[in-house]
Amino acid sequence: MLNPNVHQLLNSQINKEFYSAYLYLEISNYFEERGLDGFANWYKVQAQEERDHAMLFYTYLQNNNEKVTLEAIDKPDVTLEKDMDALTASLNHELYVTSLINDIYAAAYEVKDFRTMQFLDWFVKEQGEEEENANDLISKMELFGSDPKSLYMLNQELGTRVYTAPTLVL
User: What are the pLDDT digits (tens) for 5-51?
Assistant: 999 999 999 999 999 999 999 999 999 999 999 999 999 999 999 99
d(CA 28, CA 59): 27
Radius of gyration of the CA atoms of the chain, in A: 17
In a domain, 98, yes or no: yes
- Are 78 and 96 spatial neighbours (Cβ–Cβ below 8 Å)? no
In a domain, 29, yes or no: yes
In a domain, 168, yes or no: no
Q: Report CA dihedral (31, 33, 34, 40) to the nearest 10 degrees.
A: 20
In a domain, 163, yes or no: no
Please tell me the predicted confidence (pLDDT) of residue 170.
Answer: 62
Domain count, the chain: 1
- Are 135 and 84 spatial neighbours (Cβ–Cβ below 8 Å)? no
d(CA 133, CA 104): 23
In a domain, 126, yes or no: yes
In a domain, 81, yes or no: yes
Q: Is 169 a residue whose pLDDT tops 70?
A: no
We report the CATH number of the domain holding residue 13 as 1.20.1260.10
In a domain, 166, yes or no: no
In a domain, 92, yes or no: yes
pLDDT category of residue 168 using cuts at 50, 70 and 90: low
Q: DSSP characters for 8-64?
A: HHHHHHHHHHHHHHHHHHHHHHHHHHTT-HHHHHHHHHHHHHHHHHHHHHHHHHHHT
Per-residue pLDDT tens digits for 117-166: 999 999 999 999 999 999 999 999 999 888 999 999 999 999 999 988 87
Q: What is the pTM of this model?
A: 0.93
For 14-39, give one letter per residue: b (16+ CB within 10 A) or e: bbbbbbbbbbbbbbbebbeeeebbbb
Per-residue pLDDT tens digits for 70-84: 999 999 999 999 999
Query: How many residues are given for the chain?
Result: 170
Q: Is 1 a residue whose pLDDT tops 90?
A: no
Please tell me the predicted confidence (pLDDT) of residue 165.
Answer: 81
What residue numbers bound the domain in which 34 lies? Answer: 4-158
